[in-house]
Every structure is written in C-alpha cells, then in structure tokens.
Chain A
Amino acid sequence: MDYTSIFPLMRAELTLTAILVLVFLYDLIAGKRGHRWFSAVTCGLLLVQVAVNLVPGPAGELFGGMFRTVPMDGVVKSVLSIGALIVCLQADRWLQREDTHHKQGEFYILTLSTLLGMYFMISAGHFLMFFIGLELASVPMACLVAFDKYRHHSAEAGAKYILCALFSSGLMLFGISFLYGTTGTLYFDDMAGRLTATPLEIMSLVFFFSGLGFKISLVPFHLWTADAYQGAPTAVTSYLSVVSKASAAFVLFTTLVKVFAPLIEQWQTLLWIVTVLSITVANLFALRQKDLKRFMAFSSISQAGYIMLAVIGGNALGMTSLVFYVLVYMAANLAVFGVLSTVEQHSGGRVSLEDYNGFYRTNPKLAVMMMLALFSLAGIPPFAGFFSKFFVFASAFKAGFYVLVFIALLNTVISLYYYLLIVKAMFITPSDEPIATFRSDVGTRISLAMCMAGVLLLGVVSAVYDGINALSFGL
C-alpha cells in the first residue's frame, strides 16, 4: 500500500491525532506553572489544525473503502474544529477554578477525542468504521457530562446520558445487524445497491434512524436532552448542543442519501413526522422553562428539527443549506452559551431566567451580544439566522414538502416569542438584585467576537454560501 497517499486524504484526522498526543504530553510535563497556559496551548494547536485544513482536500478512499472522504467532509470537519476551538476558549475561566484546575488536561483530551470520533464517523465508508466513530464520539462525551465530580447534578446527567447513549447504540446495532442479514455487506456503497425495501429492511431503517435520532435529540428520542444539558458543565453543554449535534445531523444526511437511497419514500415519511414533532413539541416545552440551560436544550431540539428540513429533500441544495445552517447555528448558539457560562462563573452559578432581569443595565455589551445571537436563532432578517432558515425552507419547498414548510414557518413565530422573553428580561424587566457588572476573561471575549462576526457577517457575505455550494455537487 502506498503510504504517501494517506496524508492528503486523512489530513484532518492525522493532525487532530497529533494534537491529542501533544496535549497529552503537555499535561504530563508542564507541571503546576505550565498549567496556566494550558488553554492557550490547546487553542493555539487547534487554530493550527483549522488553518491546515481550511482548504478542503481531494476526494478518495483508503483501507479498502473503509475510510472515504469528499471535499464536503473537509468543510464539515473544519466547521466542527472551529466549534471545538470556541468551546475551548470559553471553558478556560471555568477550568481555572480551584476544583477543576488539576483536571484541565482531561477536559481537553476528552473533547479532542470526541472530535476525532466525529471525524471518523463523518468519513466512514463501512458500518464498522461508522460505529466505532460514533462510540468514540459518545463515550468520552459521557465522561465530559459527568465532569464535575462533586456536583450531584453533573453525575445524574452523566448517568442519564450514558444509559441513553448505550440504549440508542444498541437499537442502532440491532438495525444494522438486520441490514447485514438481508444484504450480506456492511460497505455503504454495496449496501445501497442491494437494498430492496422489504419490510425487514424498513424495520432496520427505523431502528437505525432512532439510534441517530438520539444523538441529534429529535422528538421522540429527546428525553435525555434537557436533563443532560442542565446538569452538564456549561462548556460541555455548548459542545453537546453544537458540535455533537451538527456532526450527527450531517452523518444522518449522508447515510440516508447514500445507503438508504432505495428506501427514500419510507425515510421521507419518517422524517416528515419526526420533524413536525421535534419543532412543535420542543417549542411548546421551551415556553415553560425557567432555567436557561434547559431552555437552550429545548431550543436546540427545535433547531435540530429545522436542520432535518434540509435533510428531507435529499438533494445537493439540501446539503448546502444543512452545512450553512449548522455553521450559522453554531455561531449563534455558542454566543448564547458563551454569555451564559461567563455570567455563571462571575455570579456564582446564576442561570435562571429571573436572574437576567435588568442585565442590560449592569452589563450592556454582553446583553446586546446575547440579543443579537437570540435574534439570529429566531431568524430575524439582517442576521445570519434568517438566511440559513430561508435556505433550509427553500430546499424543503423545492422538494415539494409544502405543508411541512408551512408548519415550520408557524413554529418560527412561536420560537420568536420565547426568544424575546429573554430579551425582555434583559432589557425591560427591572430587578432588585441584578447580576453585578463584571469584566469577562480574554478567552471568552475572543470567542464572543468570533461568534458575533459569524452572526453578523455569515448571512451577508454570500461568498460563504457559494463556497459551500460549489462543493456540494454529487454530495
């Protein structure tokens, strides 16, 4: 085998593995003084990784078709890396705290290993590779959710997450086993040619879909989401809600289109129901939340429903709008979580909606950033969120799902209402004891600046969308 051909194709994976090893070594040799620079070192390395992988690599396959990559995969991997970078920047303040200080290395290593798992999951060409990538993404994630060892909530969330993840991967494997039984292969390409839409295969599709549905937290597989999001440390919650979800959504798209192409009628019906349920149920539950992390959990479930609008068409336009939606959603959601986590760190753990009353008077800059991010999530015109929602709706509309688009449009109105509840609390409602004025740390400020640039510019600068669109041909 020609080893020189490996690097260009596996560039993202190899550089990330190198970073993992470097961070691990740094953790070993840095000592007490070096630990202060841990965040800077990791973020610097991740920045290098993003820079190296910015230009998408060539298409090709390795290891007998187990690993296959197209330029679009490269784009998605870069998006995920940027998300991880922003999360690492925001986590710094929390990790410098007395009780988590000595565990910084674990946090970064676990985060990077989940990222590596997502990479392999995205580039898989075989169900074995896919399964290992998925598990590599979800097992360290459970450790991250239960990271605050002495906080009861964190352990409770970790237990709920790992049990649901195990259960869902069990369901998914059950589906895959019957796919193997009916087709006799586990390669994506071969399987697509041999599926004939027998009832057994449709059942396998449903099992497989529910396994991935857990990861993306679609209704009716969403029950772990709110608890895990609320209990996990805030930095982990933001990672869970953006990077993990985005990778699973992309993988769902590619597997449905590549592998399950012969079953397109069945999975479109399935997605139709799940999308409507996700958007509606999550919106209704979000209305009654008092805890902002829980609130963002339901908001992210409904955003996942919107992402599914891009999947349902199964065409190149859907692919473009999915990646664009994920990018924009990442900018807005990470901005919200950045504000939440820095407020939590500076105010002694205040995360409920009432705590934000009068927030604008004490911290005007953070309040405005939060407002812009929420407007983008709700899809108000000049911000990026409007354009991403527009493209997603357009792709579903083009595929002929008029009723679905109409229901989704109605739901944007509801979502606007509850996003504005936070804005109202921050700007209008007075408070006796508002969160005191504080100055956030450098990492958070850099990350918020990056997110704001995304929220304001991504929609207006059409080069981004065109750049993604140019790569989405032939999926």
Chain B
Amino acid sequence: MIKMEYYLVVSTILMFVGFYGFVTRRNLLAMLISVELILNSVDINFVVFNRFLFPEQLEGFFFTLFAIGVSAAETAVAIAIIINIYRNIRNIEVKNLREMKW
C-alpha cells in the first residue's frame, strides 16, 4: 500500500504550484486555474488524513465534498466576472487592468 507521505508530497507540490502560478501568471483565467490547484490540494489533504489517520469517521470526506461544491460556485462567479471584463475591454490580460493603482 502506498504510504501517506507520498500523497502529502503530491498535495504540497500542487499547493505551491498553484501559489507560484497565482503570483506569476498574467492571465485571469490562468490565475483562476492556479487557485483551483490550491483548492484541489486541500481536498487531497482532507481525504488522505481521513483515510489514513482517522478511518473510523467521515469528517474529512464530508468537508471535501462541501469544499468541491463551494469552489465550483466560486469558479462560476469568477468566470462570470472575467467574461464581463472581456466584454468591456476585449482582453483578460492582467496588464490591461491598470485603471486603479496605488
């Protein structure tokens, strides 16, 4: 059986890939995808902890289900706003969102 640490390494890498992407990507959709990576790493964490450390209860699984649902709702709202930006300026590059600074 695969040990718990392997899963945790994967989820931590996923987390920091998302973190890196969020900071460096200059496209709103790419930033959104990076954030989704962070949320997915959290889901892996919850499931793995529940499965390996506390198999007699289901708290982590339930949390994951809710987290997936809520993050889907958030993504829907974020994409709606990004589409709205696209309609306004025909572009979703971050460098064009510079009307407000400092």
Contacts and interface: CB of A to CB of B under 8 A. Distances in A.
Interface of A: 127-128, 131-132, 135, 139, 142-143, 146, 149-150, 152-153, 155-160, 162-163, 165-167, 169-171, 173-174, 176-178, 180-181, 184-186, 226-227, 230-231, 285, 294
Contact of B54 (A135, A184, A226): A184
Contacts of A146: 81, 84
A180 B46 contact: yes
B70 A135 contact: yes
B22 A167 contact: yes
The size bracket of the interface on B is 35 or more
Given A128-B63, A128-B66, A181-B45, A159 B81 contact: yes
Given A170-B38, A177-B49, 12 more contacts: A132-B70, A142-B78, A149-B84, A150-B88, A152-B88, A152-B89, A155-B88, A163-B28, A163-B32, A167-B22, A173-B39, A184-B53
B78 A166 contact: yes
Task: Output the residue of A150, A152, A226 with the most chain B CB within 10 A.
Answer: A152
B62 interface: yes
Contact of B42 (A149, A159, A173): A173
If over half of A's interface residues share one DSSP class (helix, strand or loop), that class is named, otherwise mixed; here it is: helix
Nearest to A289: B102
Contacts of A139: 70, 73-74, 77
Contacts of A155: 81, 84-85, 88
Contacts of A152: 85, 88-89, 99
A143 B22 contact: no
B78 A174 contact: no
Contacts of B46: 177, 180
Tell me if B's interface is mostly helix, strand, loop or mixed.
helix
A159 B97 contact: yes
Interface of B: 15, 18, 22, 28, 31-32, 35, 38-39, 41-42, 45-46, 49-50, 53-54, 59-60, 62-63, 66-67, 70-71, 73-75, 77-78, 81-82, 84-85, 88-89, 97, 99-100, 102
A185 B63 CA distance: 11
Contacts of A294: 100
30 contacts: A128-B59, A128-B63, A128-B66, A131-B67, A132-B66, A139-B70, A139-B77, A142-B78, A143-B77, A152-B85, A152-B99, A153-B99, A156-B97, A157-B100, A158-B84, A159-B85, A162-B81, A163-B32, A166-B74, A166-B78, A169-B39, A173-B39, A174-B38, A174-B45, A176-B42, A180-B46, A180-B60, A226-B102, A230-B100, A231-B100
B78 A163 contact: yes
Contacts of B35: 163, 166-167, 170
Contacts of A171: 38
Contacts of A184: 53-54
Q: Which 5 A-B pairs rank lowest in CB-CB distance, beginning with the nearest?
A: A170-B38, A177-B45, A181-B49, A173-B42, A158-B81
Contacts of A180: 46, 49-50, 59-60, 63
B54 to A, nearest CB: 5
Contacts of A185: 59
Contact of A142 (B71, B77, B88, B100): B77
A224 to B, nearest CB: 11
B3 to A, nearest CB: 14
A156 to B, nearest CB: 5
A156 B77 contact: no
Contacts of A165: 74
B57 to A, nearest CB: 8
A131 B84 CA distance: 27
Most B C-beta atoms less than 10 A away, residue of A149, A174, A230: A174
Contacts of A157: 100
Contact of A159 (B53, B60, B71, B82): B82
Interface centre among A127, A166, A185, A186 (most CB of B within 10 A): A166
Contacts of B39: 166, 169-170, 173
Q: Which of A165, A173, A177, A285 has the most CB of B within 10 A?
A: A177
B74 A226 contact: no
A153 B100 contact: yes
